[in-house]
Amino acid sequence: MQVWLETPLLIGQKVQLKIAYSYTIPRFFYNNDFNVNRTDILPTSNGDIYSIAQWYPRLCVFDDIEGWNTLPFLGNGEFYLEYGNFRVNITLPAAYIVEASGELLNPDQVMPASSLQRWKQAHESEQKVFIRKPEEVTDIRSRPAKATCTWKFALNNARDFAWTASKSFVWEGIRINLPGNKKAFGVSVYPVESKLPGSWDRSSEYVKFTIEYFSKQWYVYPYPSAVNVASNLEGMEYPGIVFCSSKDTGNNYWKVVNHELGHTWFPMIVGNNERRYAWMDEGFNVFMDNIASEDFNKGEFIGYLADHRNPEKYFADSVPPIMTRPDGITGDMVFHTQYLKVNYILRLLRDHIIGKVRFETAFRKYLHDWAFKHPTPADFFHSMNNSTGEDLTWFWKAMIMENYKLDQSVSGVSYVDTRDPATSGFRAVIWK
């Protein structure tokens, strides 16, 4: 939709738009043809879990490269959003527990005294605290005795806002320690049937580690809370809240929680244009995820390394260049190209070409310099070149702009004696 203003909006001026709209929550069913839904309903034994995202009109990004970015959502390209401040009120029947992007402003109005006490305790606890225990899910005393509750949330300098609601939630909280004596609040909500060893029973542990690790390694987590929601969305990220599979266990559960929370750094902090350059979002994230996996519990999980193929296959003739717009990549190549191959080439650059210290210093500076901005691939290339003090254009061209592969081999080595006995000349080495 376009809104034409009566007079031009000058620098420093503001305009308010009030939009009345309705939104029907879809109920999708998974099949082999369609599984890119972003809002969904998960049936559970104690009630549906509503995962609510992409649910309101938002402003297109106007940048200095493309102008108004109006490319539509076609499935692979995902989203390109502008930053703003959110104040969101959600009114539902009191039986529902609501979690969302941002800070809950009125906990005393939406919780009974027992839950409120545990909620406050969880903010200061290094171990998870049950705000609502599994055995309390069906106890009406675990919710306020009134018809409705209005949950009020605030979130600043963020590109989106999502939320969840259910009568069926087990509700956990844990303190997250951030650099500079800061803290955030880790939250997990899931149905009782998902509370399994190696699955949602470890959610708080994974949330706490991931946010603390990435904050120390790359950039301090900018939001007041980090919420992990059990859903049937398989894995999807928003500022301060992620939706992960209610059924995953083991390595699959670890990697999806770590990955979706890792998206806080790309594209929530660094605002990539995912419509055009999904690799700057997914690939960078998988690269950071695998580093985190190596350090979690001394490598308890292999993470996305379990998905890696023979590196030669990343450069097969059938593989499109990484720079290809995601909607132009066939579905069977998206994960292979935008996720795994990007991780492979970044590890190649870090571990074998530049070195760990130089690479991570440069990568960290890129993240800090472009936090809450909209970089292009060229900005990333120039930033890395400048920070390493090395012209890596050859690497970016061969690995990202094109799909080059080394098409050379050594079939043999022979020595030809060309020495002149009178002058003691040199021996030539012939490579074939």
* Domain-wise residue ranges, the chain: 40-401
pLDDT in tens, 203-235: 999 999 999 999 999 999 999 999 999 998 889
Quote the pTM value: 0.91
pLDDT band at 363 (very low <50, low <70, confident <90, very high): very high
Q: Rounded CA gap, 55 and 85, in Å?
A: 17
Mean pLDDT for 260-267 is: 97
pLDDT for the residue numbered 331: 85
The CATH label, of 1.10.390.10, 1.10.10.60, 2.60.40.3670, 3.30.750.24, for the domain at 40-401 is: 1.10.390.10
pLDDT for the residue numbered 430: 62
DSSP 192-212: GGG--TTTGGGHHHHHHHHHH
Cβ neighbour number for residue 112 with a 10 Å cutoff:
14
Residues 179/215, Cβ–Cβ less than 8 Å: yes
H or E segment and range at residue 103: strand 103-104
Return the half-sphere exposure (C-beta side, CA atoms, 13 A cut-off) of residue 111: 19
pLDDT for the residue numbered 431: 59
Residue 124 has pLDDT above 50, yes or no: yes
Return the half-sphere exposure (C-beta side, CA atoms, 13 A cut-off) of residue 50: 18
pLDDT in tens, 129-139: 999 999 999 99
Which residues does residue 407 pair with via DSSP β-bridges, in sequence order? none
pLDDT for the residue numbered 306: 80
Quote the tokens at residue 106.
Answer: 């009125």
Closest among 352, 252, 234 to 293, alpha carbons compared: 252
Mean pLDDT for 249-260 is: 96
pLDDT in tens, 159-198: 999 999 999 999 999 999 999 999 999 999 999 999 999 9
Mean pLDDT for 39-61 is: 93
Mean pLDDT for 83-96 is: 97
pLDDT for the residue numbered 27: 76
pLDDT for the residue numbered 151: 98
Least confident among 15-24, 142-151, 400-409: 400-409
Mean pLDDT for 253-266 is: 97
pLDDT band at 422 (very low <50, low <70, confident <90, very high): low
pLDDT for the residue numbered 93: 98
Mean pLDDT for 95-122 is: 98
pLDDT for the residue numbered 75: 78
Tell me the angle at which helices 203-217 and 250-262 cross, rounded to the nearest 10 degrees: 40
Residue type, 46: N
Residues 184/178, Cβ–Cβ less than 8 Å: yes
pLDDT for the residue numbered 186: 98
421: Cα separation from own chain's centroid: 69
pLDDT for the residue numbered 78: 87
pLDDT for the residue numbered 32: 47
pLDDT band at 144 (very low <50, low <70, confident <90, very high): very high
Residue type, 411: S
Average pLDDT of the chain is 92
pLDDT in tens, 4-45: 999 999 999 999 999 999 988 877 655 544 455 688 899 999
